[in-house]
């Protein structure tokens, strides 16, 4: 390979239906939208990346439509002709023309890494430093709505080998939410590992009482109990907890956020995600900072297709530690996928793809079927 330079960037918005409604703290989704980013290189190799906005722009402030406009109008012109191997320079070029917009930048970097891995005939995890693990335990994430159907789904997924469960909270008033959680744990079984996530919907006083009750129920982790900006509140909850872990999600996006949270002792675990970190390399940085600060890492999800799931799998294969496992359930929650073959799950574990690049190939017919007509 003499050169591998970025040529054209092409984008496509697709909308995929979910196999069942998925309820967050403040809304419910029946489909998920994605932005496919293709990087065409001068060597004829094409890399694919995926932009996602989990349930819409409420989480990150970035919409799929906004990501598309940003990439096409602002990022593509400054990236054309750049060396795919010069990843720090590519990131600097994107940062010069737009502040933030981490999910959009992550999609571009993902495509560049896929093209590079394909050209070099190595999996992306090799480009990130190598794999410490090639099988990832997958915690099953349940919807925040319904009760009996949620319990039935949990029992089914546990039977398929998923080692742990995640309950979404925040859709109901706190007292009702806690009663619902207690009933679900009773129906499913108290011997399993439970993580609950209210998506930062509680104020500090509510969080104090709720965390205490959840600890008594046997819940092992509470993810982002208070507003993302309330590091002091997060740190106080860490101090109050005995057996239960306080996990940061919205509070820790980029590496600089990880440094601030570790310094403030604002969490004892962190959900790492490619999109919010600003790319695969930045996600590895977040995990590395956390590990050095004694904070455990968890592989979070934004309900990606097999494209984004494969990218996240390469990241989580490469991070220093992943004792808490991951939550990469996207392809299992969608009615269809965008790749010729979906990523592979075995007995509740995700197998890290070993093919060149991301290790998955786009199904052009499916992209055309689900693409949004402008």
Instruction: Please give the share of the chain, as a percent, with pLDDT higher than 70.
Output: 98
Instruction: Please give the share of the chain, as a percent, with pLDDT higher than 90.
Output: 89
pTM: 0.95
Name the CATH code of domain 6-121+363-370 (choices 3.90.230.10, 3.40.190.10, 3.30.390.10, 3.30.465.10).
Answer: 3.30.390.10
pLDDT band at 56 (very low <50, low <70, confident <90, very high): confident
Active site residues: 168, 327
- What pLDDT was estimated at residue 304? 96
Lowest mean per-residue pLDDT among 22-36, 57-71, 336-350:
22-36
- What architecture does CATH give domain 127-351? Alpha-Beta Barrel (3.20)
User: Average per-residue pLDDT in the chain?
Assistant: 94
- What pLDDT was estimated at residue 26? 62
User: Residue range 82-107: average pLDDT?
Assistant: 97
273-296 per-position pLDDT tens digit: 999 999 999 999 999 999 999 999
HEC sequence for the chain: CCCCEEEEEEEEEEEEEEEEEEECCCCEEEEEEEEEEEEEECCCCEEEEEEECCCCCCCCCCCHHHHHHHHHHHHHHHHCCCECCCHHHHHHHHHHHCCCCHHHHHHHHHHHHHHHHHHHCCEHHHHCCCCCCCEEEECEECCCCCCHHHHHHHHHHHHCCCCEEEEECCCCCHHHHHHHHHHHHHHHCCCCEEEEECCCCECHHHHHHHHHHHHHHCCCEEECCECCCCHHHHHHHHHHCCCCEEEECCCCCCHHHHHHHHHHCCCCEEEECHHHHCCHHHHHHHHHHHHHCCCEEEECCCCCCHHHHHHHHHHHHHCCCCCCCECCCHHHHECCCCECCCCEEECCEEECCCCCECCCCECHHHHHHHECCC
User: Residue range 55-78: average pLDDT?
Assistant: 92
Lowest mean per-residue pLDDT among 20-29, 187-196, 252-261:
20-29
Q: Where in the chain is the domain with CATH 3.30.390.10?
A: 6-121+363-370
- What pLDDT was estimated at residue 28? 73
- What pLDDT was estimated at residue 48? 98
- What pLDDT was estimated at residue 83? 97
Lowest mean per-residue pLDDT among 100-104, 142-146, 251-255:
142-146
- What pLDDT was estimated at residue 27? 65
Q: Where in the chain is the domain with CATH 3.20.20.120?
A: 127-351
Lowest mean per-residue pLDDT among 8-22, 248-262, 334-348:
8-22
Say if residue 24's pLDDT is above 80.
no
């Amino acid at each position: 390979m003499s050169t591998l330079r970025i040529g054209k960037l092409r984008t496509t918005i697709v909308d995929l239906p979910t196999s069942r409604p998925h309820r967050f703290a403040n809304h419910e989704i029946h489909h998920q939208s994605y932005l496919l980013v293709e990087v065409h290189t001068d060597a004829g190799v094409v890399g694919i990346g995926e932009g996602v906005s989990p349930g819409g722009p409420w989480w990150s402030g970035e919409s799929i439509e906004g990501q598309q406009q940003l990439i096409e109008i602002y990022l593509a012109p400054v990236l054309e002709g750049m060396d795919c191997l010069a990843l720090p320079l590519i990131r600097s070029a994107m940062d010069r023309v737009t502040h933030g917009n981490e999910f959009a930048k992550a999609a571009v970097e993902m495509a560049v890494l896929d093209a590079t891995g394909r050209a070099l005939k190595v999996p992306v995890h090799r480009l990130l430093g190598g794999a410490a693990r090639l099988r990832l335990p997958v915690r099953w994430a349940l919807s925040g709505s319904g009760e009996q159907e949620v319990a039935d789904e949990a029992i089914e997924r546990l039977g398929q080998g998923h080692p742990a469960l995640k309950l979404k909270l925040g859709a109901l008033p706190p007292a009702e939410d806690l009663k619902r959680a207690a009933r679900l744990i009773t129906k499913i079984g108290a011997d399993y590992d439970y993580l609950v996530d209210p998506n930062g919907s509680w104020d500090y006083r509510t969080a104090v009482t709720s965390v205490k009750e959840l600890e008594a129920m046997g819940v092992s982790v509470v993810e982002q109990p208070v507003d993302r900006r309330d590091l002091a509140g997060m740190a106080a909850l860490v101090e109050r907890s005995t057996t239960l872990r306080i996990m940061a999600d919205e509070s820790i996006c980029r590496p600089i956020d990880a440094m601030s949270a570790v310094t403030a002792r604002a969490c004892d675990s962190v959900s790492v995600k490619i999109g919010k970190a600003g790319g695969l390399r930045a996600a590895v940085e977040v995990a590395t900072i956390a590990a050095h600060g004694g904070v455990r890492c968890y592989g979070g999800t934004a309900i990606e297709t097999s494209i984004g799931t494969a990218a996240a799998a390469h990241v989580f294969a490469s991070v220093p530690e992943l004792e808490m496992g991951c939550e990469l359930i996207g392809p299992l929650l969608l009615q269809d996928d965008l790749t010729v073959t979906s990523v592979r799950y075995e007995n509740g574990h995700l197998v890290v793809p070993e093919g060149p690049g991301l290790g998955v190939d786009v199904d052009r017919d499916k992209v055309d079927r689900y693409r949004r007509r402008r």
